[in-house]
Structure 1
Amino acid sequence: MYKEGEIRLIALGLIRNGANQVFVSEGYDPVKQNTFYRAMGGGVDFGETSLEALKREFQEEIQAELQNIRYLGCLENLFTFNGKPGHEIIQLYECDFVDPKYYELQRQEFTEGERKKVAVWVDINRCKSGELRLVPEQFLDFV
């Protein structure tokens, strides 16, 4: 969870389904009243590498194992969510699901802390056109 005034280190996984879809979690900002999408993953714990965190987060959230994991780079994201400033350093990885069933899902519900969330496949072109909001914006450089 975010603590005000702190920079959070997170690991996110870019997973493609063919050339036109990416697997993302759906979020909603009640202050801005808009829906956004972000690659799945989460916070890196003390004593854990970002690669270990990536694998753990996918296991915890949707019970999925990852394979073909490749490091893409580091992104810095300054943002406002729910009216509060946030700052995160993102270690971004490209990867694949081990189990092919995840590529068939239309939506995957999961719990993050006490919040119920959903992950979906979205069309990359709808993100690039601005129809769907993918965050952080620099993420579009990798899809």
Structure 2
Amino acid sequence: MNKHGEIRVIVLGLIQDGDRIFVSEGYDPAKQLTFYRALGGGVDFGETSLAALKREFLEEIKAELTNIRYLGCIENLFIFNARKGHEIIQLYRCDFADPKFYQLDSLVFHESDNHKHKAMWIDIARFQSGELRLVPKEFFNYL
């Protein structure tokens, strides 16, 4: 997790297919709350956010992206696991190059050795109704 006072630059890929979006599932142990977010990750020093986006999708789910378009920047202040967080999110809209990803219900991937995550297609209406929680909430501006 972030050191105190650290601002993290991350990149997220918004992949939409009709009325559904591709998201990963997260869990906040302090709040005992499940949430969902677009896939992506940290931008390394000396790396562009576009290069980081492609790298993260390849590393995490072995997926190549196509039709990549920059959407904008979101500044995200949040609390996760009882700690303050601050992210600058570079947001891109993109598509999977391989159509097989559109046929999947879900997949499990490893972000690191001990962190397993699940990614899945979820109907946008389930987020809009408040049934499921999509973060950050500014994300809705791009759907």
TM-score range, shorter chain: over 0.9
Structure 1 residue 34: Cα displacement: 0.8
Q: Tell me how far 1:89 sits from its aligned partner.
A: 0.2
Deviations 1:88-125 (A, max 9, x none): 00000000000000001111100011200000111101
The aligned residue for residue 12 of structure 1 is 12
Letter in 2 for 1:140: F
The answer to whether structure 1 residue 25 and structure 2 residue 46 are counterparts is no
Deviation, structure 1 residue 33: 0.7
Give RMSD over aligned pairs. Answer: 0.8
Percent identity, aligned pairs only, is: 68
Aligned to 2:124: 124
When structure 1 is superposed on structure 2, of 107-116 and 60-69 the one drifting more is 107-116
CA distance in 1, matches of 2:127, 2:4: 29
**Aligned ranges 1:39-78 → 2 under 5 Å:** 39-78=38-77
- Tell whether 2:96 aligns with 1:94: no
Partner of 2:3: 3
**CA–CA distance in structure 2, aligned partners of residues 61 and 3 of structure 1:** 24
Shift of 1:14: 0.2
Structure 1 letter corresponding to 2:121: W
Determine the C-alpha separation between the residues in 2 that align with 1:100 and 1:87: 34
Return the offset for 1:25. 0.4
The one-letter code sitting in structure 2 at the alignment partner of 1:11 is: V
Aligned to 1:115: 115
Q: Which runs of 4+ in 1 moved over 6 A?
A: none
Query: Residues 35-91 of structure 1: CA distance to partner in whole angstroms, max 9, x if unpaired?
Result: 000000000000000000000000000000000000000000000000100000000
Letter in 2 for 1:132: L
Distance 2:65 2:2 in 1: 26
Query: Equivalents in 2 of 1:78, 1:46: separation in Å?
Result: 21
**TM-score, length-normalised on structure 2?**
0.97
Structure 1 residues not aligned, in runs of 5+? none
- 1:119 corresponds to which letter in structure 2? A
Q: 1:2 offset after TM fit, Å?
A: 2.6
Runs of 5+ consecutive residues of structure 2 not aligned to the other structure: none
Cross-structure match for 1:134: 134
3-state DSSP class of the match of 1:70?
strand
